[in-house]
A and B are shown apart, each in its own frame.
Chain A
Amino acid sequence: MDTEFIAEYIPLYVEASRLTISIGLIGIVLSLIVGLLIAFIQYFKVPVLRQIAAVYIELSRNTPLLVQLFFLYFGLPKAGISISSEGCAIIGLCFLGGSYMAEAFRSGIESVGKGQEESALALGFQRSQVVRYVILPQALSVSIPALCANMNFLVKETSVFSVVALADLMYVAKDLIGLYYKTDEALLMLVISYLIILLPISILAALLERRLRYAEFGN
Protein backbone atom coordinates (compact mmCIF):
# COMPACT_ATOMS: atom_id res chain seq x y z
CA MET A 1 0.00 0.00 0.00
CA ASP A 2 1.50 3.30 -1.06
CA THR A 3 0.65 5.67 1.78
CA GLU A 4 2.39 8.59 0.15
CA PHE A 5 0.21 8.17 -2.90
CA ILE A 6 -2.85 8.07 -0.72
CA ALA A 7 -1.82 11.20 1.16
CA GLU A 8 -1.11 13.00 -2.08
CA TYR A 9 -4.45 12.29 -3.66
CA ILE A 10 -6.74 12.63 -0.64
CA PRO A 11 -7.57 16.23 -1.63
CA LEU A 12 -8.81 14.96 -5.01
CA TYR A 13 -11.19 12.61 -3.22
CA VAL A 14 -12.32 15.33 -0.86
CA GLU A 15 -13.10 17.53 -3.82
CA ALA A 16 -14.95 14.72 -5.58
CA SER A 17 -16.84 13.86 -2.39
CA ARG A 18 -17.97 17.44 -2.17
CA LEU A 19 -19.38 17.16 -5.67
CA THR A 20 -21.06 13.82 -4.97
CA ILE A 21 -22.57 15.20 -1.77
CA SER A 22 -23.82 18.45 -3.25
CA ILE A 23 -25.34 16.89 -6.33
CA GLY A 24 -26.68 14.01 -4.27
CA LEU A 25 -28.23 16.44 -1.81
CA ILE A 26 -29.86 18.58 -4.46
CA GLY A 27 -31.09 15.47 -6.25
CA ILE A 28 -32.53 14.03 -3.04
CA VAL A 29 -34.30 17.23 -2.06
CA LEU A 30 -35.80 17.52 -5.54
CA SER A 31 -36.83 13.84 -5.51
CA LEU A 32 -38.58 14.37 -2.19
CA ILE A 33 -40.50 17.30 -3.63
CA VAL A 34 -41.40 15.42 -6.81
CA GLY A 35 -42.31 12.34 -4.78
CA LEU A 36 -44.60 14.22 -2.43
CA LEU A 37 -46.26 16.00 -5.35
CA ILE A 38 -46.91 12.73 -7.11
CA ALA A 39 -48.19 11.08 -3.96
CA PHE A 40 -50.74 13.89 -3.62
CA ILE A 41 -51.70 13.74 -7.28
CA GLN A 42 -52.46 10.07 -6.72
CA TYR A 43 -54.19 10.66 -3.40
CA PHE A 44 -56.48 13.36 -4.73
CA LYS A 45 -56.87 11.42 -7.99
CA VAL A 46 -56.17 14.56 -10.02
CA PRO A 47 -57.35 13.85 -13.57
CA VAL A 48 -54.75 13.90 -16.37
CA LEU A 49 -51.85 14.57 -13.98
CA ARG A 50 -52.60 11.22 -12.43
CA GLN A 51 -52.13 9.40 -15.73
CA ILE A 52 -48.97 11.36 -16.45
CA ALA A 53 -47.66 10.42 -13.02
CA ALA A 54 -48.38 6.75 -13.66
CA VAL A 55 -46.44 6.79 -16.93
CA TYR A 56 -43.58 8.67 -15.29
CA ILE A 57 -43.35 6.16 -12.45
CA GLU A 58 -43.14 3.22 -14.84
CA LEU A 59 -40.57 5.00 -16.98
CA SER A 60 -38.48 6.02 -14.02
CA ARG A 61 -38.51 2.67 -12.27
CA ASN A 62 -37.89 0.56 -15.32
CA THR A 63 -34.92 2.32 -16.85
CA PRO A 64 -31.44 2.38 -15.33
CA LEU A 65 -30.04 5.74 -14.28
CA LEU A 66 -27.18 5.15 -16.70
CA VAL A 67 -29.59 5.04 -19.63
CA GLN A 68 -31.46 8.08 -18.35
CA LEU A 69 -28.19 9.98 -18.17
CA PHE A 70 -27.16 8.88 -21.66
CA PHE A 71 -30.43 10.17 -22.95
CA LEU A 72 -30.03 13.54 -21.21
CA TYR A 73 -26.37 14.01 -22.04
CA PHE A 74 -26.04 12.52 -25.51
CA GLY A 75 -29.61 12.28 -26.79
CA LEU A 76 -31.07 15.69 -25.98
CA PRO A 77 -28.25 17.73 -27.63
CA LYS A 78 -29.22 16.04 -30.90
CA ALA A 79 -32.64 17.62 -30.43
CA GLY A 80 -30.96 20.94 -29.85
CA ILE A 81 -31.18 20.90 -26.07
CA SER A 82 -27.90 20.73 -24.28
CA ILE A 83 -27.62 20.55 -20.54
CA SER A 84 -24.47 20.80 -18.44
CA SER A 85 -22.99 17.71 -16.78
CA GLU A 86 -24.22 18.89 -13.39
CA GLY A 87 -27.64 19.62 -14.80
CA CYS A 88 -27.89 16.16 -16.32
CA ALA A 89 -26.78 14.55 -13.07
CA ILE A 90 -29.31 16.45 -10.98
CA ILE A 91 -32.17 15.94 -13.42
CA GLY A 92 -31.29 12.27 -13.78
CA LEU A 93 -31.14 11.70 -10.04
CA CYS A 94 -34.39 13.54 -9.48
CA PHE A 95 -36.08 11.65 -12.31
CA LEU A 96 -35.00 8.35 -10.80
CA GLY A 97 -35.56 9.31 -7.16
CA GLY A 98 -38.94 11.00 -7.64
CA SER A 99 -40.74 7.75 -8.33
CA TYR A 100 -39.09 5.94 -5.43
CA MET A 101 -39.92 8.75 -3.04
CA ALA A 102 -43.48 8.85 -4.41
CA GLU A 103 -43.88 5.16 -3.61
CA ALA A 104 -42.52 5.68 -0.11
CA PHE A 105 -44.95 8.55 0.52
CA ARG A 106 -47.82 6.64 -1.05
CA SER A 107 -47.38 3.61 1.17
CA GLY A 108 -47.32 5.89 4.19
CA ILE A 109 -50.46 7.69 3.10
CA GLU A 110 -52.21 4.40 2.39
CA SER A 111 -51.34 3.14 5.84
CA VAL A 112 -53.62 5.82 7.28
CA GLY A 113 -57.09 4.32 7.30
CA LYS A 114 -60.01 5.78 5.39
CA GLY A 115 -61.79 6.17 8.73
CA GLN A 116 -59.25 8.78 9.85
CA GLU A 117 -60.04 10.93 6.86
CA GLU A 118 -63.76 10.50 7.35
CA SER A 119 -63.72 11.31 11.04
CA ALA A 120 -61.74 14.47 10.30
CA LEU A 121 -64.14 15.44 7.52
CA ALA A 122 -67.04 14.78 9.88
CA LEU A 123 -65.52 17.32 12.29
CA GLY A 124 -65.72 19.92 9.55
CA PHE A 125 -62.12 19.89 8.32
CA GLN A 126 -61.38 21.02 4.78
CA ARG A 127 -59.68 18.35 2.70
CA SER A 128 -56.41 20.26 2.79
CA GLN A 129 -56.64 20.42 6.59
CA VAL A 130 -57.30 16.69 6.75
CA VAL A 131 -54.08 16.11 4.83
CA ARG A 132 -52.07 18.54 6.91
CA TYR A 133 -53.23 17.70 10.41
CA VAL A 134 -54.31 14.08 10.16
CA ILE A 135 -52.89 12.21 7.19
CA LEU A 136 -49.40 13.64 6.69
CA PRO A 137 -48.17 13.39 10.28
CA GLN A 138 -49.19 9.75 10.45
CA ALA A 139 -48.04 8.93 6.92
CA LEU A 140 -44.61 10.49 7.39
CA SER A 141 -43.76 8.40 10.42
CA VAL A 142 -44.57 5.30 8.40
CA SER A 143 -42.68 6.54 5.34
CA ILE A 144 -39.47 7.67 7.01
CA PRO A 145 -37.61 4.33 6.95
CA ALA A 146 -38.35 3.92 3.24
CA LEU A 147 -37.43 7.54 2.55
CA CYS A 148 -34.07 7.05 4.29
CA ALA A 149 -33.41 3.85 2.37
CA ASN A 150 -34.14 5.76 -0.84
CA MET A 151 -31.68 8.49 0.07
CA ASN A 152 -29.04 5.87 0.63
CA PHE A 153 -29.87 4.27 -2.69
CA LEU A 154 -29.72 7.59 -4.54
CA VAL A 155 -26.31 8.48 -3.14
CA LYS A 156 -25.02 5.12 -4.34
CA GLU A 157 -26.54 5.75 -7.75
CA THR A 158 -24.42 8.89 -8.09
CA SER A 159 -21.54 6.55 -8.88
CA VAL A 160 -22.59 6.47 -12.53
CA PHE A 161 -22.24 10.23 -12.94
CA SER A 162 -18.81 9.86 -14.50
CA VAL A 163 -20.54 8.93 -17.78
CA VAL A 164 -21.61 12.53 -18.13
CA ALA A 165 -18.07 13.66 -17.48
CA LEU A 166 -18.64 14.73 -13.90
CA ALA A 167 -15.51 14.53 -11.80
CA ASP A 168 -17.22 12.62 -9.00
CA LEU A 169 -15.65 9.96 -6.76
CA MET A 170 -15.94 7.18 -9.28
CA TYR A 171 -14.44 9.38 -11.97
CA VAL A 172 -11.44 10.28 -9.80
CA ALA A 173 -10.79 6.65 -8.86
CA LYS A 174 -10.96 5.47 -12.47
CA ASP A 175 -8.70 8.31 -13.49
CA LEU A 176 -6.06 7.46 -10.90
CA ILE A 177 -6.14 3.78 -11.79
CA GLY A 178 -5.78 4.61 -15.46
CA LEU A 179 -2.92 7.02 -14.89
CA TYR A 180 -0.86 5.29 -12.21
CA TYR A 181 -2.11 1.71 -11.94
CA LYS A 182 -2.49 2.23 -8.17
CA THR A 183 -5.64 0.13 -8.15
CA ASP A 184 -5.63 -0.90 -4.48
CA GLU A 185 -5.03 2.60 -3.16
CA ALA A 186 -7.48 4.23 -5.49
CA LEU A 187 -10.24 1.75 -4.69
CA LEU A 188 -9.56 1.83 -0.96
CA MET A 189 -9.98 5.59 -0.92
CA LEU A 190 -13.11 5.23 -3.04
CA VAL A 191 -14.70 2.79 -0.61
CA ILE A 192 -13.78 4.92 2.39
CA SER A 193 -15.16 8.04 0.76
CA TYR A 194 -18.53 6.41 0.08
CA LEU A 195 -18.60 5.00 3.59
CA ILE A 196 -17.98 8.44 5.04
CA ILE A 197 -20.86 9.82 3.01
CA LEU A 198 -23.31 6.96 3.47
CA LEU A 199 -22.73 5.92 7.07
CA PRO A 200 -24.20 9.09 8.57
CA ILE A 201 -27.35 8.58 6.47
CA SER A 202 -27.68 5.00 7.71
CA ILE A 203 -27.09 6.00 11.31
CA LEU A 204 -29.62 8.81 11.03
CA ALA A 205 -32.10 6.35 9.52
CA ALA A 206 -31.56 3.87 12.33
CA LEU A 207 -32.00 6.58 14.96
CA LEU A 208 -35.17 7.88 13.36
CA GLU A 209 -36.55 4.40 13.09
CA ARG A 210 -35.89 3.76 16.75
CA ARG A 211 -37.45 7.01 17.76
CA LEU A 212 -40.49 6.21 15.67
CA ARG A 213 -40.81 2.83 17.31
CA TYR A 214 -40.79 4.45 20.74
CA ALA A 215 -43.21 7.11 19.67
CA GLU A 216 -45.44 4.53 18.08
CA PHE A 217 -49.00 5.67 18.45
CA GLY A 218 -50.93 3.00 16.51
CA ASN A 219 -54.50 2.40 17.54
Chain B
Amino acid sequence: MEDSIDEVNHMAEQSILLEAKNIVKDYGQGRVLDDVSLQIHKGEVIVLIGPSGCGKSTFLRCMNGLEQIQSGQIVLDGEVITEGKTDWPSVRQKIGMVFQNYELFPHKTVLDNVILGPVKVQGRDKKEVTKEAEKLLERVGLLEKKDAFPRQLSGGQKQRVAIVRALILKPEILLFDEVTAALDPEMVREVLDVILELAAEGYTMLIVTHEMQFAKAVADKIVFIDGGKIVESDTPEKFFTQPKTDRARRFLNTFIYEKETGGEKL
Protein backbone atom coordinates (compact mmCIF):
# COMPACT_ATOMS: atom_id res chain seq x y z
CA MET B 1 0.00 0.00 0.00
CA GLU B 2 2.80 2.41 0.89
CA ASP B 3 4.42 1.59 -2.39
CA SER B 4 1.42 2.82 -4.26
CA ILE B 5 1.42 6.17 -2.45
CA ASP B 6 5.04 6.59 -3.33
CA GLU B 7 4.19 5.76 -6.86
CA VAL B 8 1.53 8.47 -7.00
CA ASN B 9 3.98 11.03 -5.65
CA HIS B 10 6.55 9.87 -8.10
CA MET B 11 4.06 10.25 -10.94
CA ALA B 12 3.37 13.85 -10.01
CA GLU B 13 7.01 14.65 -10.52
CA GLN B 14 7.08 13.09 -13.94
CA SER B 15 6.23 15.12 -16.97
CA ILE B 16 2.60 15.57 -17.89
CA LEU B 17 1.97 14.11 -21.32
CA LEU B 18 -1.67 14.97 -21.85
CA GLU B 19 -3.80 17.23 -19.76
CA ALA B 20 -7.47 18.13 -19.84
CA LYS B 21 -8.21 21.45 -18.16
CA ASN B 22 -11.78 22.26 -17.20
CA ILE B 23 -13.30 20.56 -20.21
CA VAL B 24 -16.94 21.40 -20.95
CA LYS B 25 -18.76 19.48 -23.67
CA ASP B 26 -22.34 20.09 -24.66
CA TYR B 27 -24.06 18.35 -27.58
CA GLY B 28 -26.85 20.89 -27.33
CA GLN B 29 -28.98 19.37 -24.59
CA GLY B 30 -26.99 20.19 -21.51
CA ARG B 31 -23.49 19.43 -20.35
CA VAL B 32 -22.17 15.97 -21.04
CA LEU B 33 -18.77 16.86 -19.62
CA ASP B 34 -18.91 19.43 -16.89
CA ASP B 35 -15.59 20.97 -15.94
CA VAL B 36 -13.48 17.84 -16.25
CA SER B 37 -9.78 18.11 -15.50
CA LEU B 38 -7.31 15.27 -15.72
CA GLN B 39 -3.54 14.94 -15.96
CA ILE B 40 -1.94 11.98 -17.62
CA HIS B 41 1.74 11.54 -16.98
CA LYS B 42 4.19 9.79 -19.21
CA GLY B 43 4.00 6.05 -18.62
CA GLU B 44 0.82 6.28 -16.60
CA VAL B 45 -2.19 4.03 -17.14
CA ILE B 46 -5.47 5.63 -16.19
CA VAL B 47 -8.73 3.71 -16.27
CA LEU B 48 -11.98 5.63 -16.59
CA ILE B 49 -15.04 3.93 -15.17
CA GLY B 50 -18.57 5.05 -14.60
CA PRO B 51 -22.17 4.25 -15.43
CA SER B 52 -23.41 4.15 -19.02
CA GLY B 53 -23.93 7.60 -20.49
CA CYS B 54 -21.74 9.39 -17.96
CA GLY B 55 -19.48 10.79 -20.68
CA LYS B 56 -16.51 8.40 -20.84
CA SER B 57 -16.51 7.99 -24.62
CA THR B 58 -17.18 11.67 -25.07
CA PHE B 59 -14.14 12.47 -22.95
CA LEU B 60 -11.86 10.23 -25.01
CA ARG B 61 -13.24 11.62 -28.25
CA CYS B 62 -12.61 15.18 -27.09
CA MET B 63 -9.00 14.33 -26.32
CA ASN B 64 -8.20 13.56 -29.97
CA GLY B 65 -10.48 16.17 -31.46
CA LEU B 66 -13.21 13.87 -32.78
CA GLU B 67 -15.54 16.07 -30.74
CA GLN B 68 -15.13 19.79 -30.24
CA ILE B 69 -15.21 21.14 -26.72
CA GLN B 70 -17.17 24.22 -25.69
CA SER B 71 -14.65 25.44 -23.15
CA GLY B 72 -11.52 24.35 -21.39
CA GLN B 73 -8.15 23.33 -22.79
CA ILE B 74 -6.35 20.23 -23.88
CA VAL B 75 -2.61 20.30 -23.52
CA LEU B 76 -0.35 17.79 -25.26
CA ASP B 77 3.38 17.84 -24.51
CA GLY B 78 3.00 21.30 -23.02
CA GLU B 79 1.20 22.70 -26.05
CA VAL B 80 -2.42 23.79 -26.02
CA ILE B 81 -4.09 21.94 -28.88
CA THR B 82 -7.59 23.29 -28.51
CA GLU B 83 -6.86 26.88 -29.43
CA GLY B 84 -6.11 28.44 -32.76
CA LYS B 85 -5.58 26.30 -35.81
CA THR B 86 -4.71 22.84 -34.64
CA ASP B 87 -3.15 20.38 -37.03
CA TRP B 88 -5.36 17.53 -35.83
CA PRO B 89 -3.94 14.92 -38.19
CA SER B 90 -0.51 15.30 -36.66
CA VAL B 91 -1.92 15.50 -33.12
CA ARG B 92 -3.83 12.29 -33.74
CA GLN B 93 -0.68 10.47 -34.76
CA LYS B 94 0.50 11.12 -31.22
CA ILE B 95 -2.82 10.14 -29.63
CA GLY B 96 -3.79 6.68 -30.85
CA MET B 97 -7.32 5.44 -30.36
CA VAL B 98 -8.93 2.01 -30.45
CA PHE B 99 -12.70 1.70 -30.71
CA GLN B 100 -15.26 -0.71 -29.34
CA ASN B 101 -16.29 -1.88 -32.83
CA TYR B 102 -12.72 -2.30 -34.15
CA GLU B 103 -13.51 -0.30 -37.30
CA LEU B 104 -10.95 -2.11 -39.40
CA PHE B 105 -11.14 -1.20 -43.07
CA PRO B 106 -13.15 -4.10 -44.54
CA HIS B 107 -11.81 -3.65 -48.08
CA LYS B 108 -8.20 -4.04 -46.98
CA THR B 109 -6.30 -7.06 -45.78
CA VAL B 110 -4.99 -7.20 -42.22
CA LEU B 111 -1.53 -6.14 -43.35
CA ASP B 112 -2.88 -3.30 -45.49
CA ASN B 113 -5.04 -2.12 -42.60
CA VAL B 114 -1.92 -1.86 -40.48
CA ILE B 115 0.40 -0.20 -43.01
CA LEU B 116 -2.08 2.24 -44.54
CA GLY B 117 -1.52 4.81 -41.81
CA PRO B 118 2.27 4.83 -41.72
CA VAL B 119 2.53 4.75 -45.53
CA LYS B 120 -0.14 7.32 -46.42
CA VAL B 121 -0.16 9.52 -43.34
CA GLN B 122 3.49 9.44 -42.34
CA GLY B 123 4.88 8.84 -45.81
CA ARG B 124 7.12 6.04 -44.60
CA ASP B 125 8.73 3.43 -46.81
CA LYS B 126 6.32 0.62 -47.53
CA LYS B 127 8.86 -2.19 -47.29
CA GLU B 128 10.20 -1.03 -43.98
CA VAL B 129 6.70 -0.51 -42.57
CA THR B 130 5.62 -3.95 -43.77
CA LYS B 131 8.48 -5.55 -41.85
CA GLU B 132 7.53 -3.65 -38.76
CA ALA B 133 3.86 -4.52 -39.19
CA GLU B 134 4.73 -8.19 -39.48
CA LYS B 135 6.73 -8.01 -36.28
CA LEU B 136 3.84 -6.38 -34.43
CA LEU B 137 1.32 -8.84 -35.85
CA GLU B 138 3.55 -11.67 -34.73
CA ARG B 139 3.62 -10.23 -31.23
CA VAL B 140 -0.15 -10.38 -31.01
CA GLY B 141 -0.17 -13.84 -32.60
CA LEU B 142 -1.70 -12.86 -35.91
CA LEU B 143 1.12 -13.03 -38.41
CA GLU B 144 -0.45 -15.92 -40.28
CA LYS B 145 -3.60 -13.80 -40.74
CA LYS B 146 -1.81 -10.94 -42.47
CA ASP B 147 -3.41 -11.63 -45.85
CA ALA B 148 -6.89 -12.30 -44.46
CA PHE B 149 -9.71 -9.78 -44.72
CA PRO B 150 -11.29 -8.47 -41.52
CA ARG B 151 -14.52 -10.41 -42.13
CA GLN B 152 -12.51 -13.63 -41.88
CA LEU B 153 -11.36 -12.83 -38.34
CA SER B 154 -12.99 -13.31 -34.96
CA GLY B 155 -13.84 -10.26 -32.89
CA GLY B 156 -10.85 -10.74 -30.65
CA GLN B 157 -8.53 -11.06 -33.63
CA LYS B 158 -10.01 -7.94 -35.22
CA GLN B 159 -9.45 -5.98 -32.06
CA ARG B 160 -5.84 -7.11 -31.80
CA VAL B 161 -5.30 -5.96 -35.39
CA ALA B 162 -6.90 -2.62 -34.49
CA ILE B 163 -4.45 -2.26 -31.61
CA VAL B 164 -1.51 -3.02 -33.90
CA ARG B 165 -2.86 -0.52 -36.42
CA ALA B 166 -2.78 2.17 -33.73
CA LEU B 167 0.60 1.08 -32.33
CA ILE B 168 2.49 1.19 -35.60
CA LEU B 169 2.08 4.97 -35.74
CA LYS B 170 4.16 5.10 -32.53
CA PRO B 171 1.70 7.23 -30.59
CA GLU B 172 2.73 8.83 -27.31
CA ILE B 173 -0.52 7.79 -25.69
CA LEU B 174 -3.22 5.26 -26.51
CA LEU B 175 -6.93 5.72 -25.86
CA PHE B 176 -9.03 2.57 -25.51
CA ASP B 177 -12.82 2.89 -25.54
CA GLU B 178 -14.41 -0.30 -24.21
CA VAL B 179 -12.38 -2.36 -26.60
CA THR B 180 -13.72 -5.65 -25.26
CA ALA B 181 -17.37 -4.66 -24.90
CA ALA B 182 -18.39 -6.13 -28.25
CA LEU B 183 -16.50 -9.39 -27.74
CA ASP B 184 -17.65 -12.83 -26.75
CA PRO B 185 -16.42 -13.60 -23.25
CA GLU B 186 -13.83 -16.14 -24.38
CA MET B 187 -12.14 -13.51 -26.55
CA VAL B 188 -11.96 -10.77 -23.97
CA ARG B 189 -8.86 -12.19 -22.37
CA GLU B 190 -6.71 -12.28 -25.51
CA VAL B 191 -7.30 -8.57 -26.06
CA LEU B 192 -6.83 -7.55 -22.45
CA ASP B 193 -3.56 -9.52 -22.32
CA VAL B 194 -2.21 -7.41 -25.17
CA ILE B 195 -3.10 -4.24 -23.27
CA LEU B 196 -1.55 -5.57 -20.07
CA GLU B 197 1.65 -6.23 -22.00
CA LEU B 198 1.64 -2.70 -23.34
CA ALA B 199 1.23 -1.40 -19.81
CA ALA B 200 4.19 -3.48 -18.67
CA GLU B 201 6.24 -1.97 -21.48
CA GLY B 202 5.49 1.49 -20.15
CA TYR B 203 2.97 2.74 -22.68
CA THR B 204 0.88 5.68 -21.55
CA MET B 205 -2.78 4.75 -21.76
CA LEU B 206 -6.22 6.09 -21.01
CA ILE B 207 -8.64 3.19 -20.87
CA VAL B 208 -12.41 3.03 -20.62
CA THR B 209 -13.61 -0.39 -19.52
CA HIS B 210 -16.29 -2.25 -17.63
CA GLU B 211 -13.91 -5.11 -16.82
CA MET B 212 -13.25 -4.37 -13.16
CA GLN B 213 -10.64 -7.07 -12.55
CA PHE B 214 -8.74 -5.84 -15.55
CA ALA B 215 -9.02 -2.25 -14.36
CA LYS B 216 -7.58 -3.28 -11.02
CA ALA B 217 -4.70 -5.09 -12.69
CA VAL B 218 -3.73 -2.52 -15.29
CA ALA B 219 -4.42 0.87 -13.74
CA ASP B 220 -2.08 3.20 -11.93
CA LYS B 221 -5.12 5.32 -11.23
CA ILE B 222 -8.86 4.81 -11.43
CA VAL B 223 -10.97 7.80 -12.38
CA PHE B 224 -14.66 7.47 -11.61
CA ILE B 225 -16.99 9.66 -13.67
CA ASP B 226 -20.66 10.20 -13.09
CA GLY B 227 -22.96 12.72 -14.69
CA GLY B 228 -20.15 14.29 -16.70
CA LYS B 229 -17.99 15.04 -13.66
CA ILE B 230 -15.03 13.32 -12.13
CA VAL B 231 -16.43 12.17 -8.82
CA GLU B 232 -13.44 10.36 -7.48
CA SER B 233 -9.95 9.35 -8.50
CA ASP B 234 -7.62 7.10 -6.63
CA THR B 235 -5.29 4.15 -6.85
CA PRO B 236 -7.11 0.94 -7.76
CA GLU B 237 -6.26 -0.57 -4.35
CA LYS B 238 -8.04 2.26 -2.55
CA PHE B 239 -10.82 2.80 -5.00
CA PHE B 240 -11.99 -0.78 -5.08
CA THR B 241 -11.65 -1.43 -1.35
CA GLN B 242 -12.62 1.90 0.21
CA PRO B 243 -14.35 4.18 -2.26
CA LYS B 244 -14.69 7.69 -0.84
CA THR B 245 -18.03 8.61 -2.30
CA ASP B 246 -21.48 7.11 -2.10
CA ARG B 247 -21.88 7.20 -5.84
CA ALA B 248 -18.72 5.19 -6.41
CA ARG B 249 -19.81 2.69 -3.76
CA ARG B 250 -23.20 2.28 -5.40
CA PHE B 251 -21.57 1.87 -8.79
CA LEU B 252 -19.23 -0.82 -7.50
CA ASN B 253 -22.15 -2.54 -5.78
CA THR B 254 -23.88 -3.07 -9.10
CA PHE B 255 -21.02 -5.39 -9.99
CA ILE B 256 -21.13 -7.26 -6.68
CA TYR B 257 -24.86 -7.79 -7.14
CA GLU B 258 -24.11 -9.55 -10.40
CA LYS B 259 -21.72 -11.84 -8.59
CA GLU B 260 -24.14 -12.77 -5.81
CA THR B 261 -26.84 -13.79 -8.25
CA GLY B 262 -24.49 -16.26 -9.84
CA GLY B 263 -23.41 -14.04 -12.72
CA GLU B 264 -19.91 -14.33 -14.00
CA LYS B 265 -17.26 -13.03 -11.71
CA LEU B 266 -16.10 -9.71 -13.08
Query: Which A residues form the contact surface with B (CB < 8 A)?
Result: 113, 115-116, 118-126, 129, 133-134, 137-138, 141, 216-219
Contact = CB atoms under 8 A, between A and B. Distances in A.
A218 B158 CA distance: 13
A124 B119 CA distance: 12
A125 B66 contact: no
B80 interface: no
B147 to A, nearest CB: 13
Interface string B138-156: 0000000000011100000
Which of B106, B117, B122, B169: most chain A CB closer than 10 A? B106
Interface in B82-107: 88-90, 92-93, 96-97, 99, 101, 103-107
A120 B66 CA distance: 11
Interface in B107-161: 107, 116-117, 120-122, 149-151
B92 A219 contact: no
A80 to B, nearest CB: 48
Given A118-B66, A122-B97, A129 B121 contact: yes
A115 B104 CA distance: 9
Contacts of A216: 151
A134 B105 contact: yes
A123 B107 contact: no
Contacts of B121: 123-125, 129
Contacts, number: 71
A167 B205 CA distance: 71
A116 B99 contact: no
19 contacts: A116-B105, A119-B97, A121-B88, A122-B92, A122-B97, A123-B116, A123-B121, A124-B121, A124-B122, A126-B89, A129-B120, A133-B105, A133-B116, A133-B120, A137-B107, A141-B107, A217-B106, A217-B150, A219-B151
B103 A118 contact: yes
B73 interface: no
Given A121-B66, A123-B169, A217-B150, A138 B120 contact: no
